Amino acid sequence: MVNPAVRRHTLVTVMRAAVQEILEELVVRLAAAGYPQIRVAHSQVFENIDADGTRLTVLAERGRMAHPSMSELVADLERLGYLERVLDPTDGRARLVRLTGRGRALQRLALAELAEIEAAWLRRLGAALGPEAARALDAALGAPLR
């Protein structure tokens, strides 16, 4: 949980704290639903994996993390039965990281739980922002600052 005594002075700090709190709540809910091994860090994989699988280098790039760090997360989730590595049909020398049936079930549950958590956050933010808040932030991500 985020320390309420820590002052937040920038938009970056506030947004990072909100994301951390949301992901921590998701992990608590997933543990209660029978997925106690899942950690906040695993979200980097689930957020960035394609339905048909994704190369490890692409996962690392999308997650804005070092290749060895993503490799460690993938290995952990593979050991737990959520991921598998298969040959890339477009390049037999490469491998794709792909969700297993168990991984897909977890991802479906996580998305449903996230929808509930986000709805609660939108209620917390109040009617002034409402459901437009997420869309406004999404649009602002790609917009030039000037």
Classified as helix, coil or strand, 38 is: coil
Of the candidates 134, 135, 104, the one whose C-alpha atom is nearest the C-alpha of residue 22 is 134
pLDDT of residue 139: 74
Instruction: Compute the residue count for the chain.
Output: 146
Query: Is it the case that residue 116 has pLDDT exceeding 90?
Result: yes
pLDDT of residue 106 exceeding 60, the answer is yes
Class of domain 11-122: mainly alpha
Residue 128 has pLDDT above 60, yes or no: no
**Paired tokens of 65:** 């993390």
> What is the tens place of the pLDDT at every residue in 20-37?
999 999 999 999 999 999
| Cα–Cα dist 46/39, whole Å | 11
How sure is the predictor about 79, in pLDDT bands with cuts at 50, 70 and 90? very high
Sign of the C-alpha dihedral, residues 97, 76, 63, 44? positive
Using DSSP's 3-state secondary structure scheme, residue 119 falls into helix
